[in-house]
Amino acid sequence: MSTTRVFCYGKLNVKDVQRAVWQEPKEGVHGRLIDYEMKLWPETDIPYVEYRIGETVVGKTYDLSEEQLARTDAFHTDSYKRITLRDGDNKDFCLYIKKPPEEPKKFSFKKKGKKSKKSKQGK
C-alpha cells in the first residue's frame, strides 16, 4: 500500500481531529517547516501557512493512505491548496497552504475601426 507524507501544523495534530478525519489517531514525526510562517484566518483560530524567508513552523509529518489523503483534502476545504515540497533528505511531502486569491478575469476589447464596405452596403 502506497502512502503520502503530509506535514501538519494545526488541528490535524489533535488526536480527536485525526480520528474524525483519518478514522484513526497517528503518532507522526516531529519536524520543522523552514521559510514558512503560520498565521490565523481572520476572526478564527484556524491556521494556515505562507512562504516567508527566515520563519519556521513546527509540526509533524504523517504517512497517509490514498483514502486518508482524500479525506485530508476535504478537511482543508477550498481555502487551501495542496503542494508538494522536498525535505532535506530529498524526500517529497505534501503541505496545505492558503490558496491564493483568484486572478481577475482578463477582458479583451476590440478597437473601433472603420466599417468594411460589406457592412455599409448591407444597411
Predicted confidence (pLDDT) per residue in 29-54, tens digit: 999 999 999 999 888 888 999 899 99
Architecture of domain 4-100: Roll (3.10)
* Domain range annotation of the chain: 4-100
Written as one string, the DSSP assignment of 2-67 is: --EEEEE-SGGGSHHHHHHHHSS----EEEEEEEEEEEE-TTSS-EEEEEEEEEEEEEEEEEE-HH
Across the range 13-42, mean pLDDT stands at: 94
Are the CB atoms for 71 and 21 separated by under 8 Å? yes
The sign of the torsion formed by the CA atoms of 47, 81, 12, 85 equals negative
pTM: 0.77
Average pLDDT, the chain: 86
- Give the pLDDT score at 115: 58
Which helix (DSSP H) or strand (DSSP E) does residue 85 occupy?
A: strand 80-86
| Cα separation, 123 vs 70, whole angstroms | 60
pLDDT band with cut points at 50, 70 and 90 for residue 20: very high
User: What pLDDT, in 10s, does the model give residues 100-111?
Assistant: 766 555 555 555
C-alpha cell at 14: 489533535
| Cα separation, 72 vs 46, whole angstroms | 15
